[in-house]
Every structure is written in C-alpha cells, then in structure tokens.
A and B are shown apart, each in its own frame.
Chain A
Amino acid sequence: MIYRRTDHAAWRNLGDETVLIDLSAKVMYGLNETAGHLWQALDGTTDLAELGRSLAASDRAPEVKPAALEDFCTALANLGLLKEVELDADATEVSKVGEAAPWPPPGAGEVPKITWREPIKQVAATCGFLPAQGGPCLPKPMS
C-alpha cells in the first residue's frame, strides 16, 4: 500500500514534534516523533510495507509493529490528510514546509500517533461593544 500526503496539508518540525496543518479543514495536529518521520516518508514513492521492513531491520523502534504504521496511516487517510496512490516515481512535493526527516527515525521508538488536534479559530473577531469607547474589550485606557 502506498500513501501520499494530500496537497492541502503542510507541516513543520518543532523539536521532537511535527505540527501538521490541514489548510482545507482548518485544523492543526501534533505528531509524535515516529509519526512525524513517517508522515514525511509518505511521499507516494514508497510502499508502506517497505517502510515497515526498514523499521524492523533497524535497531530502533523494535516495539513498533507494521500494523501500527498501517493504523496511523488509516487514521490520517480518514482525516483526509493521506490518500492511497499508485506508485508514482515522479511525485513532487507541493506544500512542504521545513526539512525532511529521515526514516526510520533515529530516536527511541514509539508507536506513531497524533498527540493533539485543534481547530484553528479566529481570536476575538470583534469587540462586544462599540470599539474604543469602553466595554469589556477596553477595561482600562492606556494613557
């Protein structure tokens, strides 16, 4: 099974975490380290089984079973962030933000998972009262 990231998703590595943004659904996600590395490996050119084999062959993440990779990919596909594709050797990245992470991940292994999910909100769209004329948005003048 080959998965590819959808065009409306972008991401950024922040330390051990990868933050993913769904530009279409306007939701952000946090991915743990293994998930972040796996996400970046899903570029439509490598079979998931092969990714699982390379992980199993490494001395990292021995507790991570291939089924865990598949569960993670299914979860992302259900969220519209991944799609199953035919092998596409010419697949090009559309919305990559940040550096690519190696696979398998260099650190101690953990089951790949989404650690948090948050809809993107617009903060305080307007003041409840006439702006700049007092009210809960303006508790105290500056001068």
Chain B
Amino acid sequence: MRQTAAVQRQTVAFDLGGVAVGLESRHRGWLELARRRYRAFATSQPTQVRVVYRVTGAPLPSARALAAARDRPLPPRRRGSLLHFEGAAWNARFDAAGGHLEVAGPLSTYPMDQLLRTLWYSRVGRGLIVHAAALARGGHGWLCSGPSGSGKTTLAGLFPGAALCDEFAAVHLEAGGARVAGLPFWQGRSGGGTLEAIYLLRHGRENHRRRLTAAEAFHRLRPQISWPTFDSGALLHAFTALSDLVARVDAWELAFRPEPDVWRVLAAAGRA
C-alpha cells in the first residue's frame, strides 16, 4: 500500500485593518498566492479570525463573470449559528462567534477579497469599511473618499510615503474620536493614525476645501460605505458608527489638482 505523506496546513497571518487574520491551507500554491497578496500586511500578532482555504480545482471564472460579480451583494444563508456564502466558483461557511471561516474555491485569492470585509465587521464592534484612500503621517490619518473616478488613487499616488491604501480603508470609532487603518484593497500597506479629517474628493482646477455639516458628510459618505448587509446587528452598529463618525470628525469637500501642493490643504485640518 502506498503511503501518502500528510500535507500539513501552513498559515499566512496578516493584519486586516486592526484584525489579525490567519489563512491556512494545505495547498502550497494557494498559500504562496496569499503570501504575495497580503505580504504588505504581514503580522505576528495572535490571530483573531482563522480562515481555512481548500483548493477545489475548479477553473477560474472568466473576467466577465468576475466583473459581473463585482457589485453583486453576498446575502448569506443562515443555518443555525453558521452563515453560508456562495460566490463565483466558491462557497464558504462562517462561524462568526467562533471567528472561523472555511472556504472552498479555485486557486486564487479573489474569494477572500469578498469575504474579508464580512470577517472584519464580525470582529469590529464600532467601525466602518469605507470606499476611500487612507493617508497617514506621524500618527495622523486622513480618509479620502468618493465614488470611482473622484481621485482616490490619484491622490494616493501623489504621496506614496503617506498612502496606506487607495480603494478601501477601515475606520475604528474610539473614545471621542476615530482611527483610520489601511486595508489590502487593492494595493496597500499596514498602518494607521488618528483620523484628523474626512475628505470627499472631486477634481478641480485649484486646491480648495469646503467644510461640510455632519448631515452633508453623512449623505456624501453613506454611498461609499461597504455596509455589512449580512447581519442586522452588524448593520445597526455600522449605521451608528457612521452617525457618530460625522459628529466627531471634521469633514470637507476637497477639490484638488493632481499635484503635491494639495498636501498643504489636506493636512491643514489637523497637525501636519
């Protein structure tokens, strides 16, 4: 009888906006993809969420299928205490209370990108994932949000030393204020800072900012929130977090030219 060597699971651990995630798999090729994908967020902190990924051998969906899946919500099915998700060529079950996720999918990390935001909200009581670039320098942070085409990636590209991410950022509500942290969407690095200001971006001929009321900031930000629609309790927490965030942190509309000069305006809201 031929003995087959047992393939041990190995782990890749990374920081997801303040939540330490451990990715496990027996598939070396997948682990190498994960290591590369999240290398800028590697952490040695004890993991708070454990993900076990099983490579099924299913072919990668076409680019068109993935594009179609881009904005499709992921309503889970609840069976007892577990949430079951299904996406393009993958499925997963999540034990939110235990912080344990099992995923079966192709040799790719794209299923993780869809699930990680769910994981984050399951672990963070008062926070938001925002469609935004995050900048940080000297312990201070700035959240720069807006719809696609408003300049998030452009702004992040102007300040590579300060940019944490250019697509999604994490905001944690803390006593009296907030912190912003980078997320690995779609490029980025680990880091964060005290949230000094929120900017709603648009392109302009000159660098100029206009103060927003809390109500204006709420309405400009709410379409840019990755809402945790998988759970009513998490959704309520996120709604409360957004309401509190705009009450605590100054928000501005920032019209900017794609030149480094904009830093003087951007950082003026807090200590530079």
A residues lining the B interface (CB < 8 Å): 8, 10, 12, 14-15, 17, 19, 21, 23-24, 26, 28, 95, 97-98, 118, 120-132, 135, 137-143
Q: Contact at B215–A132, with CB atoms within 8 Å?
A: no
Complex A-B: 28 CB contacts under 8 Å: A14-B215, A19-B218, A23-B235, A23-B236, A97-B236, A97-B239, A97-B240, A118-B222, A121-B223, A121-B227, A122-B227, A123-B71, A123-B223, A124-B70, A125-B69, A126-B66, A126-B110, A126-B113, A127-B186, A128-B63, A131-B110, A131-B113, A140-B153, A141-B187, A142-B157, A142-B160, A142-B187, A142-B188
B residues lining the A interface (CB < 8 Å): 37, 63, 66-67, 69-74, 87, 108-110, 113-114, 131, 148, 153-154, 156-157, 160, 163, 166-168, 184-188, 213-215, 218, 222-227, 229, 232, 235-236, 239-240, 243, 246
Q: Contact at A138–B235, with CB atoms within 8 Å?
A: no
Q: Contact at B214–A127, with CB atoms within 8 Å?
A: no
Pick the residue among A24, A126, A142 that contacts B163 (CB under 8 A).
A142
Most interface-central of A12, A97, A131, A142 (chain B CB within 10 A): A142
Q: Contact at A14–B232, with CB atoms within 8 Å?
A: no
A24-B69 CB under 8 A given contacts A19-B218, A126-B113: no
Residues of chain A lying within 8 A (CB to CB) of residue B222? 28, 118
Task: Report the Cα distance A122→B222, complex, angstroms.
Answer: 11
Task: Report the Cα distance A10→B244, complex, angstroms.
Answer: 14
Task: Report the Cα distance A38→B89, complex, angstroms.
Answer: 48
Q: Contact at A142–B156, with CB atoms within 8 Å?
A: yes
* Minimum CB–CB distance for B67 against chain A, Å: 3
* Minimum CB–CB distance for A122 against chain B, Å: 5
Closest 3 CB pairs of A and B: A128-B67, A14-B215, A23-B232
Q: Contact at A127–B232, with CB atoms within 8 Å?
A: no
Pick the residue among B70, B108, B224, B226 that contacts A130 (CB under 8 A).
B108
Q: Is the interface of A mostly helix, strand, loop or mixed?
A: loop
Residues of chain A lying within 8 A (CB to CB) of residue B71? 121-125
Q: Contact at A128–B163, with CB atoms within 8 Å?
A: no
Most interface-central of A125, A126, A141 (chain B CB within 10 A): A126
Task: Report the Cα distance A8→B153, complex, angstroms.
Answer: 37
Pick the residue among B73, B110, B235, B236 that contacts A127 (CB under 8 A).
B110
A123-B226 CB under 8 A given contacts A131-B37, A132-B37, A137-B167: yes
Q: Contact at A125–B224, with CB atoms within 8 Å?
A: no
With both beta carbons as reference points, the residue of chain A lying nearest to B60 in the complex is identified as A130
With both beta carbons as reference points, the residue of chain A lying nearest to B163 in the complex is identified as A142
Residues of chain A lying within 8 A (CB to CB) of residue B154? 140
A128-B66 CB under 8 A given contacts A15-B214, A98-B243, A141-B187: yes
Q: Contact at B186–A131, with CB atoms within 8 Å?
A: yes
Beyond known contacts A23-B236, A95-B236, A127-B66: 20 more, CB 8 A cutoff: A14-B215, A19-B218, A26-B229, A121-B73, A121-B223, A122-B74, A122-B229, A123-B131, A123-B225, A124-B168, A125-B71, A125-B74, A127-B70, A127-B113, A128-B66, A128-B70, A129-B63, A132-B37, A135-B63, A142-B153
